[in-house]
Amino acid sequence: MLDRDWLYASYAALGLAYGPAFRCVVEMQAGDGEALARLRLPEAARGETFHLHPSMLDAAFHAALGLFHGEPGGTAALPFALNRMDVFGPTDEEMWAHLREQPAADGLRRIDIDLSPTARAPFASRSAVSPCVW
């Protein structure tokens, strides 16, 4: 289990300070090229209605740091390319993000992300997200 405070403190140490409206990761687990994060829309982000809430979508990317936990050098992963995105419905106020690192021959890391209202059923699927890692 990775601590939420560790996650956002790690991003802050890398120069990425997320405000209250974007701190949606409640808890997460990571290991063997996979991460599972429970997301909850914070009060600061509620009020406006979005089909795909930007805070929830962004939080799914936040969990990518869990995939690189324990690697030397304090890496950050920011998405810069999206191969495909399938959307099956609107985001809820509580969701799960399942991330899987995929092998890449070109030296870029690729991550598949499924976002769903439960830990079982896919809701939105992002395929081959390429994060820029430094």
DSSP secondary structure, the chain, as one string:
-B-HHHHHHHHHHTT----GGG--EEEEEEETTEEEEEEE--GGG-SS--SS-HHHHHHHHHTHHHHTTT-TT---EEEEE-SEEEE-S---SEEEEEEEEE--TTS--EEEEEEESSSSS--EEEEEEEEEE-
Residues 108-127: tens digit of each pLDDT: 788 889 888 875 555 555 55
Does this model's pTM top 0.95? My answer is: no
CATH 3.40.50.1000 fits 4-133, yes or no: no
Per-residue pLDDT reduced to its tens digit, 43-84: 999 988 888 899 999 999 889 888 887 776 655 667 777 888
Q: What pLDDT is attached to residue 132?
A: 44
pLDDT of residue 27: 94
pLDDT score at 100: 92
Residue 22 has pLDDT above 60, yes or no: yes
Model confidence pLDDT, tens digit, residues 81-101 = 788 888 888 888 999 999 998
pLDDT at 120: 57
